[in-house]
Structure 1
Amino acid sequence: MRGSDQVTGSLFSYIDLEERIPARYPLRKIRAVVNDALRSLDAEFDRLYAGEGRSSIAPERLIRASLLQILYSIRSEQQLMEQMDYNLLFRWFVGLGIDDAVWVPTVSTKNRGRLLTTDMSRKIMAAILAHREVAPLLSDDHFSIDGTLVKAWASMKSFQPKERATLGGDEGSGDAPDGSAPPTSSSDQSTTEPDPMIRPTRRSRNAEVDFRGERRSNATHASMTDLEARLFKKSPGAGAVLCFMGHSLMENRSGLIVQADLTQADGHAEHRAAIDMLHRHSPGSTRRLTLAADRGYDSADFVAELRQMVVTPHVAQKSRHSAIDGRTTRHPGYAKSQRRRKKIEEPFGWAKTVGGMAQTMYRGIERVRARFTLTMAACNMARLPKLQAA
């Protein structure tokens, strides 16, 4: 007998959200670890909020929602709120009941300066790595380092001479180069009222620009869209783009990211970030560590600083004038580190294809750094179910 296609709305629901999620769904393991990590940061959250006044959205829910946005490649807070409104899986992960109202998208944007900061992202990553089920997966002695370019939310047309970028002029906006209004003709100064039936023509803001033959550099030019973005190319054959440089420190056993940072792009950023991340991860440590890296890190100053920090530089050798000699390469651990260091490209690839870091949608180095750090923490969480199953 054929069933009926009639839809009957139910006034009450007696099924809990917990029963809707399959028992072996990967998000269950991720949610348990995230909840434990956020509980360990309870004192940190208390310091961020006043003791009196109207109750706000719980910071734990805002952070879970941000992790979901990264894990499911949701492009904006508005789309995230739409998903949380009708997606039971998202409601369960964030901690909303079936009848709870979702917050407006501006709640996340207004809390970015207080809650979704670089410092908080690093504390979230550290709390996750210190979890009782995650800590045994980590290596304490062997690490790898690398950097990648994160394209800025700015077009090449916004890369203008610094005096114009400071004044805020815009291509196609009709502003004069000095920021003043364009000259007007005698006909423009007429007091005749415009005809309301005539629709004014809008001037295109995306005007054609020919950069051929023009010399532009970070010393003379800056982006009007994001003043902290820099024009940079990482390899000789690639084109220069407005970007930032993301850095990650990976432990070699499971390939989890233990430190992340983001800086302005320049030729020395990778070396400085590597030293800073090592200091943050092992402050004052006297244990012998190993650090694997590609040949871009093969410089005498960087290698000498690593050895001064009691870190063995397992850096790939340049074809000529390498700072790595037989004292390092003769050990079998050097070859093993060189094989394991290539695994750091996997988190970078995940962050760009899934986490939305191929081109950031945030402006300003602080916001981009906070998002990059949280994205690398989410990458660790995405790999956790398989690592624990293995």
Structure 2
Amino acid sequence: MMGRREDGQGQFFYSFDLDKVVPPDHLVRQIDGLLDLSWVHKELAPYYSHTGRPSIDPVLMIRMLIVGYVFALRSERRLCAEVQVNLAYRWFCKLGIEDRIPDHSVFSPARHERFRESDALRRVFEGVVAMCIATGLVGGEAFSIDASLIKADVDKKKRMPGDQPIAWPKVEEASHAVREYLAALDTARGDEDGSGDAGGSGKGSDRHKPPKEVSLTDPQATWVARPGLDPFFAYDANYLIDNKAGIIIDAVGTRANRTVEIAITQTMVDRVERRFDLRPQRLAGDTVYGAVRLLKWLVDRNIAPHVPVWDKSARTDGTFSRADFVFDQQRNIYICPGGAELTSTGNIDQGHIVYYRASKSDCSQCSLKPKCTTATARKITRDLNEDVRDRVRALADTEAFQQSRRERKKVEMRFAHMKRIFRLDRFRLRGLSGVRDEVLLTATAQNLRRLAKLLCHAPPLAQACLA
């Protein structure tokens, strides 16, 4: 017979165990066993006042943020609404069935102040990386580096040309992103006039061109204009991964700039060695990382750069390229296809580019001149560290280089997952600090899900994953 639920008086007492309603194979159980936040209260205590009303527990906020990024709930308003009704999320956040959910507004000041001052989000990320290392998912021999453009949260119509003066609002009236930008400008001016922490070198300020466009909403975002693409403002998400299982061992959000990508690579490799005592034998990357200064930096540390060399010396007009000239290292000369010698002029441009020039008499009577140059004499350039570039070019023919090239696809997969699964195809937070927070939280979520997947193939309970 058909059953029917009778409406009647509700029960006076309930016996409800939240732990029993969360399925044993739920992802929150798996990642809960992989997360150690026991350090938070002690480390963040100096950043809180000893008087006044108690704040929201920072462990609760961090757990809620992790839930948000693991399950692609990046809006804190929506995150609070989901934790309110989702029992599994409540269980992970250590909230009882009757506990109140923090208001979404508490997350912004926590990020801007205590979390950033204490570098708490990086500490959480590095704790997960340490767990990956302890469980044997990080080999430490081969790394890959890459960056991905992520759109900034701005209206691109609200912009000004970078070479025109901009009337910014007063500091007290400006948004957090604008205040951060103005503070960075003040720091840069201080460095140039000798009052900054860079020692007053004053170098390079005239070399840097002003940005083509500046966003009035998020001025630290970079205007990206590429052939075939509608221009937009963006930041870079930089990932350094270990090739064994694709674990992200460092992650940084930066401005979208090739020079910054190279500099942050050095920062990340150094930081991984300092924090985890890991130095790779080889580093794979695309041509963007083939600048000679990075190649030399890697070679000096006995890291094999499995990177295509950035070389713009090839000519496309049918005339001889630099590769058609033979360099005699002992004599420090180039020999042209016609047998003439090109000697160094002694001039060094930009601190590392040396010029070699043929004599006018040799060029004027050479039958190959039409295929060589239209000038009175042929001139070519050579980097002071060209021998490093030659060593890196030689690596391209090795099996190890081809293996790194295949393994480098893992970092591209991490970016694909970032945008498709974790929905980070556009930043929600503004300013460089906000971008760094989002990149770190996303990388933490990716590592947690990766760790849970590799350790918990048939998970009855989270504790069994660590057995």
Counterpart in the other structure of 1:26: 27
Alignment CA distance shift 1:249-1:277 (3 Å)? same
Deviation, 1:265, is: 1.4
How many Å separate the matches in 1 of 2:244 and 2:446?
16
Counterpart in the other structure of 1:262: 253
Matches within 5 A, 1:329-344: 329-344=396-411
Q: Is the 8 A contact 2:262 2:289 kept in 1?
A: yes
How many Å separate the matches in 2 of 1:347 and 1:258?
12
Number of residue pairs aligned between Structure 1 and Structure 2: 340
Deviation, 1:256, is: 0.7
How many Å separate the matches in 2 of 1:242 and 1:323?
37
Counterpart in the other structure of 1:203: none
Alignment CA distance shift 1:327-1:95 (3 Å)? same
Alignment CA distance shift 1:227-1:6 (3 Å)? farther
1:360-381 Cα offsets, whole Å, 9 max, x none, are: 1111111111111111111111
Q: Is the 8 A contact 2:146 2:286 kept in 1?
A: yes
For the pair 1:228 / 2:220, whether they are aligned, the reply is yes
1:244-303 Cα offsets, whole Å, 9 max, x none, are: 111010001110101011111123121111111111111397956211111222222221
Counterpart in the other structure of 2:83: 84
Matches within 5 A, 1:1-390: 1-6=1-6, 9-34=10-35, 36=36, 38-117=37-116, 119-131=119-131, 134-161=134-161, 163=164, 165-167=166-168, 219=211, 221-233=213-225, 236-283=227-274, 289-316=281-308, 325=392, 327-389=394-456
Counterpart in the other structure of 1:212: none
How many Å separate the matches in 1 of 2:137 and 2:273?
17
1:166-196 Cα offsets, whole Å, 9 max, x none, are: 346xxxxxxxxxxxxxxxxxxxxxxxxxxxx
Counterpart in the other structure of 1:184: none
Alignment CA distance shift 1:133-1:303 (3 Å)? closer
Q: Is the 8 A contact 1:145 1:292 kept in 2?
A: yes
The one-letter code matched in structure 1 to 2:301 is: M
Q: Is the 8 A contact 1:129 1:258 kept in 2?
A: yes
How many Å separate the matches in 1 of 2:212 and 2:111?
32
Alignment CA distance shift 1:298-1:236 (3 Å)? farther
Larger displacement relative to structure 2 (96-105 or 307-316): 307-316
Matched position secondary structure for 1:357: coil
- TM-score (ref. length: structure 1): 0.79
How many Å separate the matches in 2 of 1:267 and 1:357?
21
The one-letter code matched in structure 2 to 1:147 is: A
Q: Is the 8 A contact 2:132 2:247 kept in 1?
A: no
Deviation, 1:127, is: 0.9
Q: Is the 8 A contact 1:142 1:291 kept in 2?
A: yes
Alignment CA distance shift 1:11-1:272 (3 Å)? farther
Larger displacement relative to structure 2 (296-305 or 149-158): 296-305
Deviation, 1:92, is: 0.6
How many Å separate the matches in 1 of 2:393 and 2:76?
53
Matched position secondary structure for 1:3: coil
Deviation, 1:25, is: 1.8
Deviation, 1:359, is: 0.9
The one-letter code matched in structure 2 to 1:95 is: K
How many Å separate the matches in 1 of 2:311 and 2:210?
30
Q: Is the 8 A contact 2:254 2:260 kept in 1?
A: yes
The one-letter code matched in structure 1 to 2:67 is: L
How many Å separate the matches in 2 of 1:72 and 1:7?
37
How many Å separate the matches in 1 of 2:269 and 2:399?
23
Alignment CA distance shift 1:271-1:19 (3 Å)? same
The one-letter code matched in structure 2 to 1:17 is: L
- TM-score (ref. length: structure 2): 0.67
How many Å separate the matches in 2 of 1:300 and 1:133?
31
Matched position secondary structure for 2:258: coil
Matched position secondary structure for 1:136: coil
Deviation, 1:54, is: 2.3
Q: Is the 8 A contact 1:117 1:367 kept in 2?
A: no
Deviation, 1:164, is: 6.4
1:118-138 Cα offsets, whole Å, 9 max, x none, are: 822211111112127854211
Alignment CA distance shift 1:313-1:60 (3 Å)? same
Alignment CA distance shift 1:229-1:133 (3 Å)? closer
Larger displacement relative to structure 2 (292-301 or 147-156): 292-301
The one-letter code matched in structure 2 to 1:70 is: Y
The one-letter code matched in structure 2 to 1:13 is: Y
Matched position secondary structure for 1:382: helix
The one-letter code matched in structure 1 to 2:281 is: L
The one-letter code matched in structure 2 to 1:63 is: I
Matched position secondary structure for 1:244: strand
Alignment CA distance shift 1:60-1:307 (3 Å)? same
Q: Is the 8 A contact 2:28 2:89 kept in 1?
A: no
How many Å separate the matches in 2 of 1:264 and 1:18?
44
Counterpart in the other structure of 2:377: none
Larger displacement relative to structure 2 (127-136 or 139-148): 127-136
1:102-133 Cα offsets, whole Å, 9 max, x none, are: 11111112211134438222111111121278
**Runs (5+) with no aligned partner, structure 2:** 170-208, 314-388, 458-467
The one-letter code matched in structure 2 to 1:93 is: F
Q: Is the 8 A contact 2:132 2:138 kept in 1?
A: no
Counterpart in the other structure of 2:325: none
Deviation, 1:96, is: 0.6
1:15-68 Cα offsets, whole Å, 9 max, x none, are: 31111111122221101112x2x1144431223223333222111110110111
How many Å separate the matches in 2 of 1:135 and 1:42?
26
How many Å separate the matches in 2 of 1:319 and 1:164?
36
